[in-house]
């Protein structure tokens, strides 16, 4: 079975799962256990909308719901988000929802493993969004140490990316992104299977470049060009339980 047939099957399963989760939420402690998985359900939807329906407006709405659920779980149950890598903050950026992106620029858990690679990976995006350049220096310092380690060598392009944002140097950002594409297969193995279609972290940093005014076209299927332009939706559908979130 190829990845597209597998995606169609996952989409059908996710439609069924979503209905089950809504029922399970009514049980004692059901919200705690069954709201979170809707994040992954919506990623299945987003991939299906991108690669089967070729509808990027729908995909933006699904990324919005996925990222909003993660933020809700962080705020309500202190679920670890910001020291767990950059999937969710990338989903927020892909949504083009300004309020959600701003929310992610400030999102923090009660306790963060702030010297870990996953935290540095997401926190550097927060600092670029907020233009906290002094704090970005700390990210660059920490990540420079990490990428010298063998297990993180495939992340080395991030240093040029971050220095490029700080220096407002589009070509340096591009160079770092191109290095990221070259090592994406070694780096991207997410449990959601997104890596079979595109590189979330490369696309996330490229989207960040667009948000900051650098319209970089990497001309690679690893970075979906249709997701890069800033195109907020007129309406973002929400789950009822998120409307107060």
How many separate domains does the chain show? 1
pLDDT in tens, 62-121: 999 999 999 999 999 999 898 888 999 999 999 999 999 999 999 988 888 888 999 999
**DSSP secondary structure letters along 200-214:** HHHHHHHHHHHHTT-
- For residue 128, CA distances in Å to 17, 60, 137 come to 36, 22, 11
In a domain, 240, yes or no: no
* The predicted structure's pLDDT at residue 245: 47
In a domain, 123, yes or no: yes
Q: CA neighbours within 13 Å on the CB side: how many for 32?
A: 5
In a domain, 162, yes or no: yes
In a domain, 204, yes or no: yes
Query: pTM for the full model?
Result: 0.95
pLDDT in tens, 6-62: 999 999 999 999 999 989 988 888 888 999 999 999 999 999 999 999 999 999 999
Q: Which band of pLDDT confidence, cut at 50, 70 and 90, is reported for residue 186?
A: confident
* The predicted structure's pLDDT at residue 1: 67
* The predicted structure's pLDDT at residue 45: 97
Q: Average pLDDT, stretch 217-226?
A: 95
Residue 235: CB partners within 8 Å, gap ≥ 6? Answer: none
With 0-12 / 13-18 / 19 or more C-beta atoms within 10 angstroms meaning exposed / middle / buried, residue 241 is middle
Q: Which band of pLDDT confidence, cut at 50, 70 and 90, is reported for residue 244?
A: low
In a domain, 11, yes or no: yes
Q: Looking at 28-37, 129-138, 200-209, which range is the least confident one?
A: 28-37
* The predicted structure's pLDDT at residue 90: 97
* The predicted structure's pLDDT at residue 83: 86
Check: CB of residue 195 under 8 Å from CB of residue 87: no
Q: Which domain holds residue 90?
A: 3-229
Residue 29: CB partners within 8 Å, gap ≥ 6? Answer: none
Residue 242 has pLDDT above 90, yes or no: no
**Residue closest to 181 by CA, chosen among 215, 211, 216, 142:** 216
Query: Tokens 């962080």 correspond to what residue?
Result: 74
In a domain, 158, yes or no: yes
In a domain, 239, yes or no: no
* The predicted structure's pLDDT at residue 185: 85
In a domain, 195, yes or no: yes
């Amino acid at each position: 079975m190829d990845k597209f047939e597998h995606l169609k099957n996952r989409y059908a399963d996710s439609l069924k799962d979503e209905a089950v989760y809504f029922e399970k939420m009514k049980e004692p402690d059901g919200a705690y256990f069954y709201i979170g998985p809707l994040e992954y359900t919506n990623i299945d939807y987003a991939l299906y909308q991108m690669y089967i329906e070729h509808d990027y407006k729908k995909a933006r709405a699904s990324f919005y719901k996925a990222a909003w659920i993660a933020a809700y779980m962080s705020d309500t149950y202190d679920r670890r988000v910001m020291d767990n890598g950059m999937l969710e903050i990338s989903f927020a950026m892909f949504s083009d929802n300004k309020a959600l992106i701003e929310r992610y620029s400030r999102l923090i858990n009660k306790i963060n493993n702030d010297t870990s690679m996953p935290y540095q990976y997401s926190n550097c995006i927060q600092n670029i969004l907020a233009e906290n350049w002094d704090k970005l220096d700390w990210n660059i310092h920490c990540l420079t140490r990490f990428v010298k380690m063998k297990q993180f060598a495939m992340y080395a392009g991030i240093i040029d990316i971050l220095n490029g944002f700080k220096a407002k140097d589009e070509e340096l950002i591009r160079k770092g992104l191109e290095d990221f594409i070259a090592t994406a297969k070694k780096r991207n193995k997410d449990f959601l299977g997104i890596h079979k279609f595109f590189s979330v972290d490369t696309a996330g940093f490229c989207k960040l470049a667009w948000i900051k005014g650098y319209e970089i076209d990497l001309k690679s299927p690893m970075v979906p060009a249709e997701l890069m332009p800033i195109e907020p939706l007129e309406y973002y559908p929400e789950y009822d339980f998120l409307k107060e979130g």
